[in-house]
Amino acid sequence: MYPTKNDLPESIRAKVIETLNLRLADAIALQTQANWNVKGPHFIGLHKLFDEVSDAILEYIDLIAERAVQLGGVAEGTAKMAVQRAQLKPYPLDISTGKDHCEALSAALAVFGKLVRESIDTADEAGDKDSSDLYTEVSRGTDQWLWFVEAHLQADA
């Protein structure tokens, strides 16, 4: 770890940095979920929605990575690290319908949201309220995007 004047003890920072890097890998994996292959009458609307989700996840990636560095750690945000560490299932490349893409993306968002909520508790129990708060922000945003995507699955038409 790098030296910092942050007053959190090094043991707390080390534990939180480890979790931040795990969530960073998951966020990178989530952000790279394929959406270019959606087909059908709702293509443009879904493509725009998926782009908005991707943009929001990019913001979460930045928040998470910067927090790791603020605590004296290294943000392990490479594609290789994401592939090795991410807990999300690979995005299916053999789907094309809007419904199938909404199912796949909503499943990934739900898993990510669960992992982030677990990280809220981990950071809080470690004694890092700021990282806990960061995860709470990411959790709320993820739940909102999950709601937006799931709305396409709940319609009658």
pLDDT in tens, 102-156: 999 999 999 999 999 999 999 999 999 999 999 999 999 999 999 999 999 986 6
- pLDDT for position 156: 63
pTM for the model? 0.94
Task: Report all structural domains of the chain as residue ranges with CATH numbers, in order of start.
Answer: 10-154 (1.20.1260.10)
Q: At what angle do helices 43-70 and 129-154 cross, to 10 degrees?
A: 170
- pLDDT for 157 beyond 60: no
Instruction: Say which residue the tokens 């979460």 belong to.
Output: 60
Range 15-33 average pLDDT: 96
Question: Cα–Cα–Cα angle for 120, 141, 103, nearest 5°?
Answer: 105
- pLDDT for position 31: 93
